[in-house]
Amino acid sequence: MAKSATTIAAGTVIRGRIHGEESIELLGRVEGHVEISGSLTVDAKARADAEIQAASVFIDGIVVGNVTAEDTIHVTGKAIAAGDLTAAKIIVDDGARIRGFVKMTGAPKTRQKPSTTRATAPAATVPPAAPDQDEDEPELPSSASKRRVSVKKR
């Protein structure tokens, strides 16, 4: 049942929990929780203040909340996404406004290192270090010759 049988029109606000086995096209507003096995389209003028879980999520409007998609999250150049985005594939168009942790769960196309660890756990990506540098302290310019992956604390 992949058809988008469900449409939430521009003048409609739904507060609560929405779940189902199909796709939803959102032109209005949703507040709460959306969990569907189909795809969710958040239209240019639509807004979802919600935790979202779907096969794919296409964001052309505003989403405030965490979004998890099995396949793809696409954030267009007009969209706002404030919240964590997790999907096998995430596409962000120029102009999009994003705030949150973005994580692609699909196989990375790296040639050497897997990048599947969170950026907040840099230790996992640090190769065998010189004996004197086990600490993961922030990198100083003068010690730049030591390889450290320095990421902002969240």
Partner 1 sequence: MANTTIGNSIVIEGEITSQEAIVVQGTVKGKIETSQSVFVENSATVEADVTGESVEVSGSVTGNIDAQTRVEIKAEGSMVGDVKSPRILIADGARYKGSIDMGQ
Partner 2 sequence: MIGSTTSIRGRVTGDENLTVVGSIEGSVQISKELTVDKQATVDATVEAARVLVSGQLNGQVTAAEEVRIDRNASVTGDVNTPRISIADGAHFEGRIDMPFDIPTID
Give me the residues that bind partner 2 (CB under 8 A), please. Answer: 29, 47, 49, 62, 64, 80, 82, 89-104, 106, 108-113, 115-116, 118-119, 125, 139, 141, 144-145, 147, 149-152, 154
Residue closer to partner 1 (CB basis): 19 or 146 = 19
**Closest by CA position to 102, among listed 128, 77, 131, 82:** 82
Burial environment of residue 137 by CB neighbours within 10 A (0 to 12, 13 to 18, 19 or more): exposed
Nearer to partner 1, 24 or 87 (CB): 24
Nearest in space to 102 (alpha carbons), one of 150, 58, 67? 67
* SS3 at position 143: helix
Closer CB to partner 1, residue 45 or residue 103?
45
99 in contact with partner 1 (CB under 8 A): no
Binding stretches for partner 1 (CB under 8 A): 1, 5-22, 24, 28, 32, 36
